[in-house]
Amino acid sequence: TYGEDEGGEDELEQRPPVVTVMGHVDHGKTRLLDSIRNATVREGEAGGITQHIGAYQVLTELEGNERLVTFIDTPGHEAFTAMRARGAKATDLAILVVAADDGVMPQTVEAINHAQAADVPIVVAVNKIDKEGANPDKIRQQLTEYGLVAEEYGGDTMFVDISAKQGTNIDALLEAVLLTADAALDLRANPDMDAQGVAIEAHLDRGRGPVATVLIARGTLRVGDSIVAGDAYGRVRRMVDEHGNDVIEALPSRPVQVIGFTSVPGAGDNLLVVDEDRIARQIADRRNARKRNAMAAKSRKRISLDDLDAALKETSQLNLILKGDNSGTVEALEEALVGIAIDDEVELRVIDRGVGGVTETNVNLASASNAIIIGFNVRAEGKATELANREGVDIRYYSVIYQAIDEIEKALKGMLKPVYEEVTLGQAEIRALFRSSKVGNIAGCLVTSGIVRRNAKARLLRDNTVVQDLVTISSLRREKEDATEVREGYECGLTVTYSDIKVGDVIEAYELREKPRD
């Protein structure tokens, strides 16, 4: 439900398409990825030994302009689908490889289905045209059945006959990819914001620790950035490209290996840059806890008494509506805020969130549900402020995440019910008992320690054992006068509301004091 806000129209810049190679087994996907990598290298990076980091970029030319194309280096639709299942969209376009000497096979059809379901345009690479018995026309014919009609046949799908083995027509294939991308997609992103992206591959490296290949979707990732991906967090210590070169800044569509996570993120996890390490950690911890809870809930068959207790305990609730300048910050803010749990007594609920200014609709919802509106890097629109004043809705504006968190934390603490601690006041020993038909038991006592105070709480002790708690001292007298308190060493008369009381019993007076919270 997060918007795809990338800043204003004039902040958007063209970014390279991200391409996945799909097709039936043995039709030449791996070979094609190899020959694309070898046919073209990024300028100034020639000679670098190419490493498999999960994705690479190549520099090519279209109509006299130099253009980059990013390839996901894992062939097949399985990785593509796994990432989609996690909500990540890491691919803009698919190259469907079909061997010209074989034809459309089951996995060819699967690949088409997956790409079409994801709304990803397809360019067809008819491979192995060097082979005897290759019949590229037959492939074109077969694919019409699946909605892929070649331009030559009056359709709008580009087909390129290639030989991955001999490196034939690789340039033409790249050109077709760019032409299709330009015609079908609006591939622009704002490079001038905190980076957001997808982890496409991650592992634990013996020497370097957790290493994740990240594909930048928007913004620029820089060394030193605080990052969170799924339940992993850290700070970018180093970035390395597919040639083993260090990268200082990674722009949209650029794949880089990121070193600096404290644990290994999952493939398909969304990466987010946040203001500071503390918040990255808070978000990661929160996700971790959620994962553990989900797992615990699965394995728990019966509700325990503790759960029931927790459920019955009254909780106050602080409702929030979050508005921010882009989906990444809104998500980060929500994750960080929900991470603030205060003794489980006050519950924080984000009832609505979105990208853009604070609107009248937001104010109406806030008014109806008694919520506070948080505007992060955004302001109120139209008559929203007026309406908020009229309805008594609190709108707060922030531009630094931790300030928002600090203030919300304070607001939550303000909602806490006080916690009390017991303070013993003193003890009095019962020396004599009188019964009064009017007031019940009157106990003649000697205060043996501390003080005894009127209206204090008290308990009755017999042989150092509590016989009854919450005995009320309803009246206190000293030498026939009403007294508010009587000190150690003095005698006094108490009226108590307990019938099983004996000479020799001890009355212990105590108070409950509000405990300060930090």
Nearer to ligand GDP, 53 or 96 (CB): 96
Least CB distance from residue 127 to ligand GDP, whole Å?
Answer: 5
**31 is a site residue for ligand GDP (CB under 6 A):** yes
Contact predicate 404/330, CB 8 Å: no
Least CB distance from residue 63 to ligand GDP, whole Å?
Answer: 27
Contact predicate 424/450, CB 8 Å: yes
**37 is a site residue for ligand GDP (CB under 6 A):** no
Q: Select the residue interacting with ligand GDP from 131, 396, 454, 457 (CB under 6 A).
A: 131
Which residue bears the tokens 């990013």?
Answer: 70
Residue in 155, 211, 174, 190 with CA at minimum distance from that of residue 95: 174
Nearer to ligand GDP, 107 or 377 (CB): 107
How far is residue 67 CA from its own chain's centroid?
34
Distances (CA, A) of 414 to 169, 312, 409: 69, 22, 9
DSSP annotation of 120 reads -
**127 is a site residue for ligand GDP (CB under 6 A):** yes
**136 is a site residue for ligand GDP (CB under 6 A):** no
- Strand 196-205 to 270-274 pairing: antiparallel
**165 is a site residue for ligand GDP (CB under 6 A):** yes
Nearer to ligand GDP, 114 or 323 (CB): 114
**169 is a site residue for ligand GDP (CB under 6 A):** no
**108 is a site residue for ligand GDP (CB under 6 A):** no
State the chain's maximal CA–CA distance in angstroms: 121
Least CB distance from residue 99 to ligand GDP, whole Å?
Answer: 7
Question: 441 - beta bridge partners?
Answer: 435, 496
Least CB distance from residue 25 to ligand GDP, whole Å?
Answer: 5
**45 is a site residue for ligand GDP (CB under 6 A):** no
Stretch that binds ligand GDP, among 79-87, 142-150, 158-166, 395-403 (CB under 6 A): 158-166
DSSP annotation of 257 reads E
Residue in 155, 283, 286, 267 with CA at minimum distance from that of residue 226: 283
Nearer to ligand GDP, 24 or 84 (CB): 24
Least CB distance from residue 139 to ligand GDP, whole Å?
Answer: 13
Tell me if residue 238 falls in helix, strand or coil: strand
Least CB distance from residue 32 to ligand GDP, whole Å?
Answer: 7
**164 is a site residue for ligand GDP (CB under 6 A):** yes
Tell me if residue 51 falls in helix, strand or coil: coil
Contact predicate 348/412, CB 8 Å: yes
Length of the chain as a residue count: 518
Which residue bears the tokens 């809104």?
Answer: 330
Interface characters, 57-76, with ligand GDP (x: CB under 6 A): ------------------x-
Least CB distance from residue 95 to ligand GDP, whole Å?
Answer: 11
Residue in 263, 250, 270, 274 with CA at minimum distance from that of residue 198: 270
CA distance 74 to 91: 12
Alpha-carbon dihedral sign for residues 69, 75, 76, 78:
negative
Nearer to ligand GDP, 105 or 149 (CB): 105
CA distance 89 to 92: 8
**128 is a site residue for ligand GDP (CB under 6 A):** yes
How many residues of this chain bind ligand GDP (CB under 6 A)?
Answer: 16
Least CB distance from residue 97 to ligand GDP, whole Å?
Answer: 6
Interface characters, 8-27, with ligand GDP (x: CB under 6 A): ---------------x-xxx
Q: DSSP labels for 417-454?
A: PPEEEEEEEEEEEEEEEEEETTTEEEEEEEEEEEEEET
Q: Which residue is nearest to ligand GDP (CB)?
A: 28
**110 is a site residue for ligand GDP (CB under 6 A):** no
Token representation of residue 110: 């699967």
Nearer to ligand GDP, 75 or 324 (CB): 75
Q: DSSP labels for 27-47?
A: SSHHHHHHHHHHH---TT-TT
Least CB distance from residue 312 to ligand GDP, whole Å?
Answer: 59
Nearer to ligand GDP, 13 or 137 (CB): 137
Q: Which residues bind ligand GDP (CB under 6 A)?
A: 23, 25-31, 75, 127-128, 130-131, 163-165
